[in-house]
Homo-oligomer: A and B are copies of this chain.
Amino acid sequence: MPDTNRQIILKSRPEGWVTLDDFEMRQGDVPAPGPGDVLVRAVFMSLDPYMRGRMDAAKSYAANFDVGEPLKARIIGQVSASENDAFQPGDVVFGMLDWADYSLAAGGRGLRHVDADLAPLPYHLGALGMPGMTAWIGMELGEPKEGETVFVSAASGAVGQIAGQIGRLRGCRVVGSAGSDAKVAFLADELGFDAAFNYKTADGILAALESEAPEGLDVYFDNAGGAVLEAALDHANPFARFIECGMISQYNLSREETPGIRNLTHINRKRIRMQGFIVSDHADRLDEFTDEMAS
């Protein structure tokens, strides 16, 4: 075990786009566990869009990161030292821990064992982790029916790709958008989306939807917000379900800079249900999710 620990510290709250200057690396001693504590070495770390909100002073749904302290992430790691009977050195664990080589889980709180035989370790942060459960809960709320059309934005992201897979398993036509040709090829060739397009180079997002989803949208799994959401409202079918998982197009913009959505009258006219959700509200369904997703 090395005797120094590297931590990534939030140096300042970003205004608009995040820059490297908002972070600094701090080197220090590896902490020693006190009674009940567990020392964990990070192996895999999940960096996710929700973190942008936690860098702000403004209230988000998760507790904010503190300036001058390490940022936190969902981590799969290995126990290095333990003063807690529930965890032994060598155990593979999951926890919300520091952006660092080593973190202390005080009293072992928030740590849980990971079944490394169920799937490769990174899957526990992806399809079997928070992004997978986010996609699964969102699609539960969206209630896709066989033969319907599901549209997923930011579809090549950790959540979007799983949402698309679930849509296919439900017997839907699944259309995805992403922001590069490489991502679009990944969606169409590797993930088996029925259609995919690059929203940055398409000749209009609405035109792309009309072409790739000729029967209109029944479920929209929204990770993007902004112009993609506006086009999806235009192309929605009556009684469409809009699952509001995230609006990454807006996270770095102030209120004044945000392009507004001007066609919300479709919600009324088309009887759209728009449902925001956060996966952590649905922790009671973790076992149900793990069973279905692992299979």
Contacts and interface: CB of A to CB of B under 8 A. Distances in A.
Given A259-B260, A270-B276, A265 B250 contact: yes
Interface stretch (A109-117, A195-203, A240-248, A285-293): A240-248
A8 to B, nearest CB: 25
Contact of A53 (B251, B261, B267, B269): B269
Interface string A255-272: 100111111111111111
Nearest to A269: B61
Main secondary structure of the interface of A (DSSP, over half): loop
Interface in A111-157: none
A262 B271 contact: no
Contact of A244 (B60, B246, B267): B267
A211 interface: no
A38 interface: no
B260 A268 contact: no
A259 to B, nearest CB: 6
A180 interface: no
Q: How large is the interface on A (under 10, 10 to 19, 20 to 34, 35 or more residues)?
A: 20 to 34
Given A247-B268, A268-B246, A262 B255 contact: yes
A271 B265 contact: no
A170 interface: no
A196 to B, nearest CB: 23
Nearest to A238: B61
Contacts of A258: 262-263
